[in-house]
Amino acid sequence: MCLLVAILCAPIAWGHYTWLVRTHYNSSGDRAFLEVGHGHSFPKSEDAVAAEHLKVFAEGAGGKVAPVQFKKEGNVLKLEVHLADRNVRRVYFSRERGVISQTASGWKDGGRDQHPGAKASMKSTQYGIAWIGFSGSTTGAKQLGLALELNYEKGLNGRRVRVLRDGKAARNIEVTAILGEDNEKALGKTDRNGYVQADAVPEGAAVLFSARVEEAAPKGANYDKSVLSCTLSIPGE
């Protein structure tokens, strides 16, 4: 399989990202409030993500996951999750847009069989992950089973981001840290164990980590490549 890797950024301009971030808890600490946002000024969303193809899930006791409802409010999609205990857990979204093509009139559903003159055609899947809870560590967290997955770990080896592709350590993947408008840091490429150091990010700052993987389409497919992207948000302390 031909594997191409790229930082998630638009040509010439700063990158546009889609994320899920925990904004706050209620006064009793048993309910977390989150937002799905989009833009280049994390954590400030510029426009609401289309709800079509978007699914949100919350991780529960024993690793079980349950769907979470969301609603559009202004430039974000809002949701809330009940915390059965104080343990750290994840909420995440998946957005499988299927095959889309870049035509003269914008991105359209369908591949080259429907849009033979398209500038580009791809199969696109996006993921976004956020941590909630108060007790425990994110280090060595159980895998969510996503095709592309990020985790943030803090320990004797410093602060690191790990990238997994289909549950396995992904080597040589570029990871970017977004710290606000026009403030992106290229952290470098992951090592053979899927790790990249994140010590360049100020500790306690709100940050969005992002990675993207591009793979050539199978022979005979109606698109050129598949594109997987994943973001992981860490709220400011």
Residues 89-144 pLDDT 10s: 999 999 998 899 999 999 899 999 999 999 999 999 999 999 999 888 888 888 99
Is the per-residue pLDDT at 4 higher than 80?
A: no
Is the per-residue pLDDT at 13 higher than 50?
A: no
Tokens 């409010």 identify what position?
A: 73
Instruction: Tell me the average pLDDT of the chain.
Output: 89
Q: How far apart, in whole angstroms, are the C-alpha atoms of residue 66 and residue 57?
A: 5
**Residue 206 parent element (H or E):** none
Q: Is 129 helix (H, G, I), strand (E, B) or coil?
A: strand
Q: For residue 173, what are the domain limits?
A: 3-234
Q: Is 223 helix (H, G, I), strand (E, B) or coil?
A: coil
Is the per-residue pLDDT at 9 higher than 60?
A: no
Tokens 């899920």 identify what position?
A: 20
Contact criterion met (CB below 8 Å) for 74 and 48: yes
Per-residue confidence (pLDDT) for residue 181, from 0 to 100: 75
Any idea which of 14-23, 152-161, 169-178 has the lowest mean pLDDT? Answer: 14-23
Q: How far apart, in whole angstroms, are the C-alpha atoms of residue 135 and residue 6?
A: 35
Exposure on the CB side of residue 116, measured as CA atoms within 13 A? 1
Tokens 């079509």 identify what position?
A: 52
- What is the pLDDT averaged over residues 54-72? 91
Name the pTM for this structure: 0.89
The gap between the terminal CA atoms of the chain, to the nearest Å, is 41
Contact criterion met (CB below 8 Å) for 189 and 174: yes
For residue 88, what are its two tokens? Answer: 């750290």
**Residue 155 parent element (H or E):** strand 148-155
For residue 79, what are its two tokens? Answer: 């949701």
Is the per-residue pLDDT at 192 higher than 60?
A: yes
Q: How far apart, in whole angstroms, are the C-alpha atoms of residue 71 and residue 51?
A: 9
Per-residue confidence (pLDDT) for residue 12, from 0 to 100: 30
Provide the domain count of the chain.
Answer: 1
Per-residue confidence (pLDDT) for residue 174, from 0 to 100: 97
Contact criterion met (CB below 8 Å) for 18 and 231: yes
Contact criterion met (CB below 8 Å) for 100 and 92: no
**pLDDT > 90 in the chain, percent:** 71
DSSP secondary structure letter of residue 110: S
Residue 15 binned pLDDT confidence (cut-offs 50, 70, 90): low
Contacts of 186 (CB under 8 A, 6+ apart): 7, 174, 175, 176
Per-residue confidence (pLDDT) for residue 59, from 0 to 100: 92
Among 192, 157, 189, 178, smallest CA distance to 231 is for 178
Is the per-residue pLDDT at 2 higher than 50?
A: no
Tokens 């302390």 identify what position?
A: 237
